[in-house]
Amino acid sequence: MTNLSTPTYRDHRPGEGRSMMTKQAAERYALVAAGAVIVALTAGGFWLSYAHLAEVAGQHGLYSSPARRWAWPATLDAFIVAGELLMLRAGLRRVTDGWAIALTATGSVGSIALNVAGVSGTGSAGTVPLLDYVVAAVPPTAALLAFGVLMRQIHQLVDRPVGHPDAPSEQLTDPLAATSVQPSEPPPEVSESTPRGGRPPKATLAELVEIGRIALAEHGTLSRSLLRKAVKDRDLTIGSERQTEVMEILRPEIEATAETGPDSG
């Protein structure tokens, strides 16, 4: 009975692996396509907004200086870019940066307001169709939203490697390891390889955190592979979930070591 159940399970795993690879490939292609659209939308929105602000500057005092006319919109749009980048940095550090939010809000409100105000800057406001104001407001608004989405995608891609990529591979190997332990044959093999019998003992969370802290001090950094090796060197075992818990607990110390490491060197 046991011999019949084991092959059917193993025959089923490759199909699941192929479907998972297909899903990951489709997700990757969708992400690349969405990223291209977001970049194009961001560039187009900023260009239209920038060009219109340059026209407004030319109509109000900078017509005789093309260089200053085209440099003037950067005094607003640069606030948006700088603020979004600082917000990305704050998100990666898991903190709230009030200055970054203020910079983004100032640049965004100023850009949208001046784009709209520039429509009626040379004529009577009553004679300007409402749609003209909408046309002027769309590019800076679209640029702001698209750039924010772009920063969000970058944040997810940069922040993912700490705990995400290794998890699928370990989750795939855990069921296979579990099935190899269930039959009656493996226990004698394990007892032969380990004279005193049994698998390596599991450590407590506090012990694993201390092992990770020691490895961090020795290597100046800590990854999942380094943590796994340090635990294995002490004849202990660590599961995927417990490994994630240890990395989350030590994350502030890892970031602090990464910041102080270059300065101390």
Q: Is the pLDDT of residue 199 over 60?
A: no
Determine the Cα–Cα distance for residues 159 and 30; give it in Å rounded to an integer.
19
User: Using one digit for the tens of pLDDT, what is the confidence trace for 38-65?
Assistant: 889 888 888 998 888 888 888 888 888 8
> 198 falls in which pLDDT band (50, 70, 90)?
low
More confident residue, 157 or 179: 157
Q: Is the pTM of this model over 0.75?
A: no
* Residue-wise burial string across 40-61, b where 16 or more C-beta atoms lie within 10 A, e elsewhere: ebbeebbebbbebbbebbbeee
CA–chain centroid gap for 233, Å, is 32
Q: What is the pLDDT of residue 161?
A: 53
Sequence-separated (6 or more) residues with CB below 8 Å from residue 168: 20
Q: Is the pLDDT of residue 80 over 80?
A: yes
How many Cβ atoms sit within 10 Å of the Cβ of residue 91? 19
> Which residues, listed in sequence order, are joined to residue 202 by a DSSP beta bridge?
237
Sequence-separated (6 or more) residues with CB below 8 Å from residue 149: 38
